[in-house]
């Protein structure tokens, strides 16, 4: 081998050693040391806190005795949440959810169900689920467990440590996931044992949804109750939450939960409030006027922003006691999907069923808290892009004074379908003055238009005209 070739080989070998050495040592020196932020999974954690104090999963019987257990509307809300979380799980590389309880001392309690995880990719974690269907089915089993345990008085707590539960939730997955969700189902009335100190908590950019309803020992009127929910919302934002949305339990649906988590407006909202005093809608009549309203609203939904949600409520003696039928959603699609309403015909049938059912839930009503019912209906956050509010009543507001305040979603179209009270026989002018006062109040509360129709002469064309160009605006 010639001397010049040996020199060339030595130079090449030296260069290769230098390149390899730089690659090894240079990588070690330039790669950052993992930190708590950089090492987090690019995934989502969801913590669900459920009020397990004796004042929440409980109801009074007609004889005044108490029966323990979550209400049907609670179960519907949790089932909807299970479906939405399963959808989230399928769209993120790593997902973990923990469902736990608000108790007398929340930080010492165990989860209601084992932690549920879902992973994507080649490497699977032990015991992790791999499909959306598996997550959904597992979460539905968890909901069933929650409902069953809520009936056991021995499991329920005597006090309500909400702050401790949130403090515990903020630690679950806070250093591992880039997206964090916190959902709380409660009356948000914190009640600690004597001598206890409220837990301090700091959130880490969670998207929070407050699912609320009054418990059995509600101490406030409607305004005080909603003020308490708003106070918790502001406290959570001040303590580090990224967003906070509030939803009354009766208005929870899959669509509204998605909108609440994304802080996006819904498509359209249809709300029908019915005053059943004076036997206006006897069961024998099958609610003829209610059927017409249901069919017409379904027909008009063709031209409304989608998806469309619908709520039917019987106005009670207090907003707290107003009764609602199951919340429904309409998603117009060319290709029909299972377990969803995709055609106007399907939506119309469901609206007819709701109209038929409403008289059966409002029997025995003797007075109506219109303001309180409206305040609860209007507490949905975020609001819809387009809202229609239909109220059938004599517009006697008989809730506890002062009347609860409410704020309609911007652009709400209000339809007042009115019928005089038997009390108006001696002074018909009072009925007219009352309706004028309500129309003014609706406009001042954010309505884009208000239209009035007498119940005794109501037709579907009246409703079509009211929701068209003839309605009276500001």
pLDDT in tens, 390-448: 999 999 999 888 999 999 998 999 999 999 998 899 998 999 999 999 999 999 999 99
Distance of alpha carbon 55 from its chain centroid, rounded? 21
pTM of the model: 0.86
DSSP code per residue over 155-195: TSBSSB-HHHHHHHHHHTTTTTEEEEEEEEEE----BPPTT
pLDDT in tens, 278-324: 777 765 554 588 999 999 999 999 899 999 999 999 999 999 989 99
Which tokens is 69 given? Answer: 């257990």
Q: What are phi and psi of 21, to 5 degrees?
A: -65, -40
Q: Which two tokens stand for residue 454?
A: 């007498």
Q: Do residues 181 and 261 make contact, with C-beta atoms less than 8 angstroms apart?
A: yes
Residues 6 or more apart in contact with residue 431 via CB below 8 angstroms:
394, 418, 420, 421, 424
∠ CA 211-43-106, nearest 5°, is 40
pLDDT digits (tens, 9 = 90+) for 247-256: 999 999 999 9
Residue 457 CB-half CA count within 13 A: 4
**129, 189, 197, 434 from 227: Cα distances, Å:** 41, 11, 23, 28
Cα angle: 277, vertex 380, 265; to 5 degrees:
130
187, 55 contact by CB (below 8 A)? yes
| Statement: residue 373 has pLDDT above 50 | yes
331: confidence class by pLDDT, cuts 50, 70, 90: confident
Q: Are 130 and 118 in contact (CB under 8 A)?
A: yes
Orientation angle between helical segments 344-361 and 288-300, nearest 10 degrees: 150
Angle (deg, nearest 10), helices 370-377 and 222-238 = 20
Residue 473 has pLDDT above 90, yes or no: no
Which tokens hold the place of 393? 């009543």
Q: Would you state the pLDDT for residue 97?
A: 94
Rounded to whole angstroms, the Cα distance separating 318 from 202 reads 36
Q: What are phi and psi of 453, to 5 degrees?
A: -135, 130
**Which pLDDT band, with edges at 50, 70 and 90, does 119 fall under?**
confident
Query: Average pLDDT in the 332-342 region?
Result: 66
Give the distance, in angstroms, between the CA of residue 167 and the centroid of all CA atoms in the same chain: 22
Band of residue 334 on the pLDDT scale cut at 50, 70, 90: low
Q: What local confidence, expressed as pLDDT, does residue 25 receive?
A: 38
Instruction: Enter the tokens of residue 46.
Output: 């969801």
42 pLDDT more than 50 = yes
Burial of 166 (0-12, 13-18, 19+ CB in 10 A): buried
CA 312, 85, 168, 128 dihedral sign is: positive
Q: Which residues, 6 or more positions from 153, have their beta carbon under 8 angstroms from its beta carbon? A: 54, 68
Q: 73 or 217, which is more confident? A: 73
Would the pLDDT of 364 be above 90?
A: no
- Position 336 confidence tier, pLDDT thresholds 50, 70, 90: low
Structure confidence by residue, pLDDT tens digits, 137-189: 999 999 999 999 999 999 999 999 999 999 999 988 666 788 999 999 999 99
Domains and CATH numbers, the chain: 37-264 (3.40.50.410), 265-469 (3.40.50)
Name the pairing type of β-strands 323-324 and 177-186: unpaired
- Whole-angstrom CA distances from 267 to 270, 289, 376, 377, 401 are 10, 26, 20, 16, 34
The confidence score (pLDDT) of residue 429 equals: 93
């Amino acid at each position: 081998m010639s001397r010049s070739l040996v020199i060339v080989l030595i130079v090449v070998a030296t260069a290769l050693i230098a390149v390899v050495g730089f690659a090894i040592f240079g990588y070690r020196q330039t790669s950052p040391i993992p930190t708590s932020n950089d090492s987090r999974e690019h995934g989502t954690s969801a913590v669900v806190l459920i009020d397990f104090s004796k004042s929440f999963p409980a109801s009074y019987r007609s004889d005044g005795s108490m029966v323990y257990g979550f209400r049907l509307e609670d179960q519907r809300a949790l089932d909807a949440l299970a479906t939405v979380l399963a959808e989230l799980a399928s769209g993120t590389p790593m997902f973990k959810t923990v469902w736990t309880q608000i108790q007398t001392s929340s930080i010492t309690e165990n989860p209601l169900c084992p932690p549920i995880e879902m992973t994507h990719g080649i490497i699977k974690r032990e015991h992790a689920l791999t499909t959306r269907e598996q997550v959904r089915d597992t979460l539905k089993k968890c909901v069933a467990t929650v409902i069953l345990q809520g009936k056991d008085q021995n499991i329920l707590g005597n006090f309500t440590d909400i702050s401790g539960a949130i403090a515990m939730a903020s630690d679950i997955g806070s250093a591992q996931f880039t997206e964090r969700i916190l959902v709380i189902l409660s009356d948000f009335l914190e009640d600690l044992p004597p001598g206890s100190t409220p837990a301090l908590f700091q959130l880490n950019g969670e998207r929070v949804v407050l699912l609320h309803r009054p418990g059995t020992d509600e101490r406030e009127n409607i305004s005080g109750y909603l003020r308490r929910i708003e106070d918790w919302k502001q406290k959570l934002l001040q303590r580090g939450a990224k967003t906070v949305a509030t939803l009354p339990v009766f208005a929870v649906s899959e669509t509204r939960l998605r909108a609440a988590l994304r802080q996006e407006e819904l498509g359209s909202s249809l709300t029908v409030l019915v005053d059943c005093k004076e036997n206006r809608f006897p069961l024998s009549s099958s609610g003829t006027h209610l059927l017409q309203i249901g069919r017409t609203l379904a027909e008009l939904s063709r031209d409304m922003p989608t998806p469309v949600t619908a709520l039917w409520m019987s106005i009670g003696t207090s907003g707290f006691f107003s009764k609602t039928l199951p919340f429904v959603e309409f998603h117009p699609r060319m290709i029909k999907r299972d377990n969803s309403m995709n055609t106007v015909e399907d939506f119309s049938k469901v609206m007819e069923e709701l109209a038929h059912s409403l008289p059966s839930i409002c029997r025995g009503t003797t007075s109506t808290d219109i303001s309180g019912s409206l305040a609860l209906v209007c507490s949905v956050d975020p609001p819809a892009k387009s809202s229609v509010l239909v109220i059938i009543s004599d517009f006697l507001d008989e809730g506890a004074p002062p009347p609860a305040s409410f704020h309609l979603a911007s652009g709400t179209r209000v339809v007042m379908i009115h019928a005089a009270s038997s009390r108006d026989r001696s002074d018909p002018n009072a009925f007219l003055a009352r309706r004028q006062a309500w129309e003014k109040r609706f406009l001042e509360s954010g309505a884009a238009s208000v239209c009035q129709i007498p119940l005794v002469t109501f037709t579907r064309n009246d409703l079509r005209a009211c929701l068209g160009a003839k309605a009276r605006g500001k």
